[in-house]
Structure 1
Amino acid sequence: MVADDHPLFRQALAMAAANVAPDAHIVEASTLDRAIATAAAASDLMLVLLDLKMPGSVGFSGVAMLHAERPSVPILVVSSAEALITAPEARRYGAVCFIGKDQDLAAIENAIAAVLAGNSPAPPTATHDDIEVMADKVASLTPTQLRVLLGVLNGQLNKQIAWELGVAESTVKSHMTTVLAKLGVQNRTQAALAARALGLGANH
């Protein structure tokens, strides 16, 4: 099953899967609800190619829900999210592999073939330089921006963070936009993962 809300990329993933397993019947889903219904109905499901950003999905909920529905079916996450940050978390919620949408068709086909063969390619690991770069990005945040990031890390909504900081919710949104840009991530989930990877908010 190919689960992605972008028609062209869904078609590309279907092509990659067909090249690897030409005898397989490929089904498509453009929403999380449709993907879950398809997974529940398809008794011979071999593999799920899943985008994290789909209608009905928040963060890693798509991975978790599909894994809960069909725990024996491998999930290969194909996403534009930052691999070093997202891949370990995707695995925690049930994915067996992660590959970026920026990879070429051959790389995606190799990942599909490996998973179908029962192998799970090693996840990307952060090098010391990667960690240093992210640490420098976090260090560039202002005290208020850090407080907003820690609020996100604690699972707080913008209005909760605003109440604690004594500012307007619109101000928190503005700070959050700046935090995302400074960290080079796309959403709150990735920002929280980056912060957690650096030990922010940890109780030592």
Structure 2
Amino acid sequence: MLAVAKVVPQAQIVEAGTLAAALRAAGAADDLRLILLDLKMPGAVGYSGIALLHAEKPEVPILVISSAEGAKAAEEARALGAVGFLPKDSPLPAIEAAIARALGGQAPVQAPDGTRDQPEDSVRREIAALTPTQLKVLLAVLDGKLNKQIAHELAISEATVKAHMTAIMRKLDVRTRTQAALVARSLGLDLKH
């Protein structure tokens, strides 16, 4: 929070201790300009926090500051909607610079090795483009929940759950909910870091 206050002294900072609280805060905020996110936030599984917050507020940049390590974590975070990724032990000036870039709308830095899109990158973009409810349905399927359970949990009808699953399967180019879950799992949506 010190870095945000230094870059934007007049910023109103809203903290959330869980993913559910972050989603509520993001949904209630009309003037949200930046989301700083930890991948290991309680309630988040794998990259689900990025995907859910990006689906809820696609216009708001998400900067991940996490103890997850490696270029793969940064790549996955960016593919699912984050504009940048910094290790928690980054020096304060690096965090401030990343916040300034994110608020300035600057594009994230490309992979240092100059790699091009891989086939899974298009699937990541499709997952990043799911609506908030579609993403919640997909995550519930990953948890092994039945349509009836998902409907109850999300306070929607079973028919609506089926409609969302049909849309998800079409976007992910799969034929079954099991295939959709396997695709999502292969992209790290339910992996713990």
TM (normalized to structure 2)? 0.57
For 2:48, give the aligned amino acid. S
Aligned to 1:113: 100
Show the 5 A alignment for 1:161-180: none
Confirm or deny that 1:94 pairs with 2:75: no
Q: Which one of 41, 46, 52 corresponds to residue 39 of structure 2?
A: 52
For 1:28, give the aligned amino acid. E
Confirm or deny that 1:125 pairs with 2:122: no
Show the 5 A alignment for 1:144-183: none
CA distance in 1: counterparts of 2:111 and 2:40, whole angstroms: 20
Provide Cα deviations, 1:81-104, integer angstroms capped at 9, x if missing partner: 123111111111111111111211
Structure 1 residue 120: Cα displacement = 2.9
CA distance in 1: counterparts of 2:113 and 2:21, whole angstroms: 34
Contact 1:83 1:124 in 2 (8 A): no
Pairwise CA RMSD of aligned residues?
A: 2.4
Structure 1 residue 121: Cα displacement = 3.5
Structure 1 residue 126: Cα displacement = 5.0
CA distance in 1: counterparts of 2:110 and 2:70, whole angstroms: 8
Aligned to 1:62: 49
Contact 1:75 1:97 in 2 (8 A): yes
Confirm or deny that 1:34 pairs with 2:21: yes
Provide Cα deviations, 1:79-132, integer angstroms capped at 9, x if missing partner: 1112311111111111111111121111000000011011134155359xxxxx
SS in 1 for 2:41: coil
CA distance in 1: counterparts of 2:74 and 2:64, whole angstroms: 8
TM (normalized to structure 1)? 0.54
Confirm or deny that 1:77 pairs with 2:52: no
Confirm or deny that 1:19 pairs with 2:6: yes
Contact 1:51 1:78 in 2 (8 A): yes
For 2:40, give the aligned amino acid. K
CA distance in 2: counterparts of 1:69 and 1:123, whole angstroms: 25
Q: Which ranges in structure 1 are unaligned for 5 or more consecutive residues?
A: 1-13, 128-154, 156-191, 194-204
Structure 1 residue 65: Cα displacement = 0.3
CA distance in 1: counterparts of 2:107 and 2:73, whole angstroms: 16
For 1:34, give the aligned amino acid. A
SS in 2 for 1:45: coil
SS in 2 for 1:28: coil
Aligned to 2:150: none
Structure 1 residue 23: Cα displacement = 1.2
Structure 1 residue 69: Cα displacement = 0.6
Identity of aligned residues (%): 56
SS in 2 for 1:96: strand
Q: Which has the larger radius of gyration?
A: 1
Q: Which ranges in structure 2 are unaligned for 5 or more consecutive residues?
A: 115-141, 143-185, 188-193
